[in-house]
Amino acid sequence: MFHTTEACGFVRDEAGEATVNWVLLSAGAIVLALAAITLLGDGMEAKSELLATTISERPVGVD
């Protein structure tokens, strides 16, 4: 059974603080990565479509 004294001990313990810090740091890194993927994804899709069109329209074997 979980007692309030155990909760107070966890809050006062530095290991609990370190755990919270790592969780927040990890969450921040994930948010930044998702934001970067979202922002760059739209631009990369347009560039890849332009490249595909350019390649498909280029004649093959003609000097």
Residue 1 resides in a domain: no
Average pLDDT, the chain: 82
Tracing tokens 């059974």 back to the chain, one arrives at 1
Q: Does the residue 2 lie in any domain?
A: no
Number of domains, the chain: 1
Which residue reads 């890194």 in tokens?
29
The verdict on residue 45 lying in a domain is yes
**CA–CA gap between residue 13 and residue 21 (Å, rounded):** 13
Say which DSSP state 61 is in.
Answer: S
* pLDDT tens digit sequence for 29-48: 999 999 988 888 878 888 88
Say if 5 falls within a structural domain. no
Please state the rounded mean pLDDT for residues 53-62: 85
Would you say residue 8 lies in a domain? no
- The boundaries of the domain holding residue 34 are 19-56
Task: Please give the C-alpha separations between residue 18 and each of 10, 13, 23, in angstroms, as whole numbers.
Answer: 11, 9, 9
